Structure 1
């Protein structure tokens, strides 16, 4: 009897050990007790690495428990019950976060509020918000709020914003479904490119229903189909308004900004205004807005030193239309020929960034955007390449000589074996190139907020062999992970090209 008891006891121990080390396939693996995160309110992709360029391993459901393994920038490596992988930190929440609080909206209470890459005042500035701008709040940390702004994730100081419930917001966040033209005339094109056929011209104040955005272009409803406008020269609002009763306002960006009697930097200064002041737009002439001053008089202010927003104007009657300027001033760069050189191309990829960005792609996007700004100012712009093609250095310089270019601007993004190095540099070689390089760099640096690596002589073929006034600009380091994320954004390209554009204007005025 005792032998039989010990025999069954031995079998029981063996079965228990077997189940312990070799669980049946149908038995679920229990998630570790130290799960510290859960997937947020939407299903999300688990990726092989910390970035959107990495392949998707699987899709994890909302509420799935996660255990943190590692953190890299805005990405977290996590473990589920079956997988290990990476996902963005704004797609998860703490495991003990059971609150049902409504989502929050951040409202900027300061003009030019810095949106930073990390929650500290020394972090890279990604963008800036103006008073009244709104963004989705993601989370709070040590006096900072993480927000989603212009399709980017960044941080703002809690001291300069207000928080409100998104579900109880009295003011509807703009759905950006109407585009209003804010220059005297804007070409309507068949595709989102300068190569697109011209279908017509949109006039100041005209409004179009928006279909969707394409980087720096907006697709609009046009005729029985669609067409494209360059979005830099207009604004977005969430409803159609009467042209007779809806006016834009400009918000002045800089202190001591000049308002002039005519749309030209050579005209008489009417008065000076300071940052934050707002004035209604009553017309446009080239790169200038005609604004109404507080005393009822009108003056002109350059459109590159103000921001705009849709505002109802009640001081004029419905039968008093927006003033038109069909005979506007010539562009301030009229008569100037500028060659823009998008670095690399074709089989020459240039630098490949930490996150996989090819330099040749972002230089072309940047060059195209700069070209549009310069053309709008009246310049004749020649591109050394307009697509992903290989162009020799000799040919690039030859183009400058053949066109007798007034300026040659070569655009690049930098690289270094030390991925901690950051910043922008402007290079020249010949003495006649220095003043152009310095003027552009002095205007570029404050617009991008990159580390200022200065104006330096550089032994680069396109400046060394160039008889024209030529510069080569390195717009930040693709080999720095944080800087790559910032400098490859549409927001950065807009600010960088605006800085270069302002520098060229200042040099030739």
Structure 2
């Protein structure tokens, strides 16, 4: 519950599912309520009158988020910084589909372009604005595209209008090409959270993975090609399901992070053991294990790798995707291998690899990584990792990364 009608207002308190209240007024898709104990505040309509996990209105709204502009002449920027070029302005009550979030900047579908807008200038609600399907290719154009892609093993398809192809794999590098929704590019590889692509006119650059879908199996094929020379069989891997017992981790409705991480670890363990890997778990059930003993289990076992499994949370419900953290430079190769596999196999966007000063990986000898496999605060992420198929894809991604990591 917040002090005003928007997520930019301070949180006044947290209220439990099922709490009773009276509505005083409504504004900007928020309810001003008063609780039975006399305390008042604002809650969003999409979290009212139902559980977080089973909100019918949320389900009807689709699998995205809408940004509603809160004032006139709000600048829209080319990159995820207010120091970048202004590409246009948005006005009060205009609505745009949200594509991604980077810090305090929101990536939106801005007309026929991609733009960034400060988060404190918008209201965020679940939903999707129906977009025009885009111009259909003529038979001749489709034939030319097919002929171009026939020279490559895989393709990447833009999922938004005006996608930016950049000179480097970063949000602030030069834009060298603008693509159209459903435009196909040749897949050349991956770098961080970007696809390395080639346009039909020969332009090569980098396309953010949250703006595209890949049909590539390059990472899977790489793991398969190296399987016979991998020394993964007989390795000892420690899996660390985050939280447990009295520490539930992040919570969304009736879902608790501790249960999701344990289920994930159990599926990963099963697949690794099928390939001859010795797997140790820092916890096998819903028990509390402090941070230091988790690293001790790994170090004392003299195991070959430590993988801590988590599901993240953020105040903004638009924050999404997977992230792989490392502490020591010697852990970077494993983190990059895992990230590349997740980016190719998982339905959520990849946020890349990052340095993380987390005790469980700081106290563990390398290679040690911590993987955030989605956001408990994002209903679309929760929907994705509520499916059994999600855990299988996580397991296959980790297995493939380990196969590549351990070579003769």
Q: Which structure: greater helix fraction?
A: 2
- What TM-score results when the alignment is normalised by the length of structure 2? 0.47
User: Whose radius of gyration is greater, 1 or 2?
Assistant: 1
Q: Which structure: greater strand fraction?
A: 1
